[in-house]
């Protein structure tokens, strides 16, 4: 299952429209539509989207495990992995 399918599934389970999800996240309906259409493969808004949909950001982006499994821990680990990537990139340029 891809990001686009997982996003649509989670959005529908929350009974949100694309526009409603966009408003809750702070993005346009068109961005949500483009992710669900597969035109956008990754989004910097995954964490916000996952929080609004009450699913794990790791599940939403990559699909492993249960969508609700360890949601809090997954959010923390997801942020740590993003921060370590940013940190490594800064170290490489210094």
| pLDDT tier for residue 66 given thresholds of 50, 70 and 90 | low
14: domain range?
Answer: 3-93
Phi-psi domain of 70 (left: phi exceeds 0; alpha: psi -120 through 50; beta: other): left
pTM of the model: 0.68
Q: Are 81 and 70 in contact (CB under 8 A)?
A: no
Comparing 70 with 18, the larger pLDDT belongs to 18
Q: How many domains is the chain partitioned into structurally?
A: 1
CATH number of the domain bearing residue 44: 1.10.260.40
Alpha-carbon distance of 37 to 47, in angstroms, equals 19
Of residues 52 and 81, more confidence is placed in 52
- Identify the weakest region by mean pLDDT among 6-20, 25-39, 79-93: 79-93
Percent of the chain exceeding pLDDT 70 equals 68
pLDDT in tens, 27-37: 999 999 999 99
């Amino acid at each position: 299952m891809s990001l686009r399918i997982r996003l649509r599934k989670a959005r529908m389970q929350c009974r949100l429209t694309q526009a409603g999800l966009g408003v809750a996240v702070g993005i346009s309906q068109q961005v949500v539509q483009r992710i669900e259409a597969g035109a956008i493969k990754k989004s910097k808004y995954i964490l916000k989207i996952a929080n609004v949909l009450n699913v794990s950001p790791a599940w939403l982006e990559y699909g492993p495990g249960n969508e609700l499994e360890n949601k809090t821990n997954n959010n923390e680990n997801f942020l740590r992995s993003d921060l370590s990537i940013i940190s490594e990139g800064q170290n490489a340029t210094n």
